[in-house]
Amino acid sequence: MSTPNEPVSNPPPAPSDFIRDIVAAHVAEKKYPKIVTRFPPEPNGYLHIGHPKSICLNFGIAREFGGVCNLRMDDTNPTKEDVEYVDSIIEDVNWLIAGWADKNLGLTKDSKPFYASDYFDQIYEFAIALIKKGKAFVCDMMPDQMDEYRRLGKASPFRDRSVEENLDLFTRMKAGEFPDGGRVLRAKIIVDAPNIWLRDPLLYRIKRADHHQTGGKWCIYPMYDFAHCLSDYLEGITHSICTLEFEVHRPLYDWILENLDLPRALPKQYEFAKLIPSHTIVSKRKLISLVQDKIVTGWDDPRMPTISGIRRRGVTAEALRRFAIGAGVTKFISLTDMAVFEQIIREDLNKRALRRLAVLRPIKVVITNFPEGKVEELDAVNNPEDESAGKRKIPFSRELFIERDDFQEIPPPKFFRLKPGGEVRLKYAYIIKCDEVVKDAAGNITELRCTADLDSKSGGATSARKVKGTIHWVSAAHALDAEVRLYDRLFTEAEPEKDGRDFKSVLNPRSLEVLTAKLEPSLKDARPEVRYQFERIGYFTLDKDSNSQKLIFNRTITLKDTWAKEAQKS
Ligand code: ATP
Ligand code: MG
């Protein structure tokens, strides 16, 4: 039997796109000895559903062109960053690329990912070099005033300080002689450039904060724009691929590198449009607030659009890669329908999930013509999509549970499940007929008394007899109790923030429903990495909080798209 968590297949090679075309041309002309890309998250939150697009693009290019992709922590802002985030990013990236592009992961000498903070000494020296060339100056203006001057395109009164004075002040900034925010180092470019990023932008600021990697060593930190291009250069990156919002920063990226007389080939920046799925948000700052406000149980709550939440929900890395790659690489900003992702998840799980019987909202059925105490072991296929998954035995006995919804006392027209006097097939078992509905004093149905056609199971004399409906069931005496968490989309609206709306006002009140379900006994051996289909219900996976005392299953996705129907109704 194959292991259901084995990759079914890797996604087909990504179709070419404008960035791959550029790389292919560079490879053809042998512009670089090796293609080196990077994925540079800032460790100020967990990776979200948009990041796999960037991960799959950068690692995909390395994979397709025989290159390397570095995972780099872009950690220049100590106050917002944390080792918890660093650790989660490493885990999530490794999970996503395992078996696909893990061979293309670039690592440092000691087998660690890269950190911009590892270059703080070198970046400081580059700042000194710019000062010495008269291309950077220390500015004493207060932040608000500096912003105002930059907006107006006015020169700072400190712009023409001598190289000696700048060197002295910058060294003293580093030595901790000035208060936080008291002085900054700025590039000396063009005070009224049409591109605001060239209006003498900030390179260094004073910030007394312990850094998760460098501790208390520094009280000055380089700005993102200064650190990023230099980190790329130091790592020998050839193609620095990022999202569109950095397009306006590109002239600054080039300016810094070009003004330092660097001996090796310079990296070049290329931009593409972000992946923005519907019915979700992709901003770490906003995701943090869902965690802090306890709207979810944590970053890896299975409703969170984070890689760790998606993983915990039971989605495979392969399905997530398929989605990220399938979104395509362009310069056009657009919304990708969440239904596309959900359909990919269904197709992926359909191929690998083991079929099991589970009753979420049970009602008791007594088969009056089946002997008390008798247990029959019936054959059930594990996966009709994969013969090698084999068969298993499920116990059948006189008392069963079926789904409450599968019985209607006063059925609507075309109701082909169980009804008084009606017949239905029990999956893998007999055709049964409902003879009697038993109720309690309050009128609630407590039991259905049925008779089975004992010749109607597979191989029996009447097994070919057709009835319109087939329903699932579990043997009452053998059933396992399990907590089942039914997860659904976190937001009811395609664009939670449309027209400036507060995204918390469109949270889906039904994003989680918790039930105690009845499961077929073979699920006591369920393993976390195995995917299951509870027949007729959906795809499920064991939750990490599950243990032998208490089984917990997460619903990854329903069998059918229930949202499309809703959308049609409204
Ligand atoms: P946020 O705004 O949520 O903080 P970010 O862009 O600041 O996200 P980073 O950690 O800087 O997050 O992102 C790391 C890399 O991933 C960057 O190169 C960025 O361009 C890319 N990226 C971020 N969001 C997306 C997205 N939605 N789709 C594709 N790539 C993305
Ligand atoms: Mg960013």
pLDDT tens, 145-167? 999 999 999 999 999 999 999 99
On the CB side of 562, CA atoms within 13 Å amount to: 10
Radius of gyration of the chain (CA): 30
Instruction: Say how far apart CA 301 and CA 400 lie, in whole Å.
Output: 34
Q: Which ligand is nearest to the CA of 42?
A: 1
Closest C-alpha among 101, 44, 45 to residue 70: 101
Pocket of ligand 1, beta carbon within 6 A:
40-42, 50-51, 53-54, 242-243, 274-275, 282-284
3-state secondary structure string, 429-472? Answer: CCEEEEEEEEECCCCCEEEEEEEEECCCCCCCCCCCCCCCCEEC
Residue 431: per-residue pLDDT: 97
Contacts for 523 with CB less than 8 Å, ≥ 6 apart: 356, 358, 480, 482, 532, 551
Distance of CA 77 from the midpoint of ligand 2 (Å): 11
Q: Which ligand is nearest to the CA of 75?
A: 1
- For 114, phi and psi rounded to 5 degrees? -90, 155
Residue 2: per-residue pLDDT: 40
Distance of CA 228 from the midpoint of ligand 1 (Å): 14
Amino acid at site 503: F
Instruction: Say how far apart CA 373 and CA 81 lie, in whole Å.
Output: 62
Nearest CA to ligand 1 atom 22: 51
Residue 494: per-residue pLDDT: 96
Distance of CA 271 from the midpoint of ligand 1 (Å): 12
pLDDT at 437 over 50: yes
Determine the angle formed by the axes of helices 163-175 and 120-132, rounding to 10 degrees: 160
Instruction: Say how far apart CA 218 and CA 506 lie, in whole Å.
Output: 43
Residue 61 burial (10 A CB sphere; 0-12, 13-18, 19+): buried
Query: Per 3-state DSSP, what percentage of the chain is helix, strand, and coil (rounded to 5)?
Result: 30, 25, 45
Nearest CA to ligand 1 atom 31: 51
* pLDDT one-digit tens code per residue, 28-59: 999 999 999 999 999 999 999 999 999 999 99
Distance of CA 186 from the midpoint of ligand 1 (Å): 26
Q: Which of 44, 88, 243, 325 to mutate to test the pocket of ligand 1 (most atoms within 8 A of CB)?
A: 243
| Helix (H) or strand (E) segment spanning residue 557 | strand 551-558
Termini Cα distance of the chain: 46
Q: Which ligand is nearest to the CA of 43?
A: 1
Handedness of CA 130, 131, 133, 139 (dihedral sign): positive
Helix (H, G, I), strand (E, B) or coil at 533: strand
Distance of CA 224 from the midpoint of ligand 2 (Å): 9
Contacts for 177 with CB less than 8 Å, ≥ 6 apart: none
Distance of CA 54 from the midpoint of ligand 1 (Å): 8
* Pair 265, 257: CB distance under 8 Å: no
On the CB side of 359, CA atoms within 13 Å amount to: 28
Nearest CA to ligand 1 atom 3: 283
Distance of CA 220 from the midpoint of ligand 1 (Å): 25
Report the Cα 4 to chain-centroid distance in Å: 21
Average pLDDT value for the chain: 95
Taking CA atoms, 314 is separated from 87, 120, 291, 529, 554, in Å, by 21, 40, 20, 8, 7
Distance of CA 55 from the midpoint of ligand 1 (Å): 10
Q: In ligand 1, which atom is closest to the CA atom of 53?
A: 29
Secondary structure letter of residue 490 according to DSSP: S
pLDDT at 562 over 90: no
pLDDT at 13 over 90: no
Q: In ligand 1, which atom is closest to the CA atom of 55?
A: 16
Distance of CA 41 from the midpoint of ligand 1 (Å): 7
Residue 513: per-residue pLDDT: 98
Distance of CA 42 from the midpoint of ligand 2 (Å): 6
Q: In ligand 1, which atom is closest to the CA atom of 245?
A: 20
pLDDT above 90 covers a percentage of the chain that reads: 94
Residue 3: per-residue pLDDT: 45
Secondary structure letter of residue 102 according to DSSP: G
Q: Which of 48, 54, 75 to mutate to test the pocket of ligand 1 (most atoms within 8 A of CB)?
A: 54
* pLDDT one-digit tens code per residue, 473-530: 999 999 999 999 999 999 999 999 999 999 999 999 999 999 999 999 999 999 998 9
Instruction: Say how far apart CA 45 and CA 53 lie, in whole Å.
Output: 17
Contacts for 37 with CB less than 8 Å, ≥ 6 apart: 58, 59, 61, 62, 67, 68, 69, 70, 237, 238, 239, 240, 241
The pair of structure tokens assigned to 559 is 């069998």
Nearest CA to ligand 1 atom 10: 41
Determine the angle formed by the axes of helices 317-326 and 51-64, rounding to 10 degrees: 90
* pLDDT one-digit tens code per residue, 266-303: 999 999 999 999 999 999 999 999 999 999 999 999 99
- Please count the residues of the chain: 570
Neighbours of 180 (CB within 10 A): 12
Q: Which of 90, 232, 274 to mutate to test the pocket of ligand 1 (most atoms within 8 A of CB)?
A: 274
What does DSSP say about strands 445-453 and 362-367: parallel, antiparallel, or unpaired? parallel
The pair of structure tokens assigned to 343 is 């359909």
Contacts for 211 with CB less than 8 Å, ≥ 6 apart: 75, 78, 81, 117, 217, 218, 221
Distance of CA 336 from the midpoint of ligand 1 (Å): 16
pTM exceeds cut of 0.85: yes
| Helix (H) or strand (E) segment spanning residue 287 | helix 284-292
Distance of CA 364 from the midpoint of ligand 1 (Å): 51
Q: Which ligand is nearest to the CA of 272?
A: 1
Q: Which of 42, 291, 330, 497 to mutate to test the pocket of ligand 1 (most atoms within 8 A of CB)?
A: 42
Q: In ligand 1, which atom is closest to the CA atom of 287?
A: 3
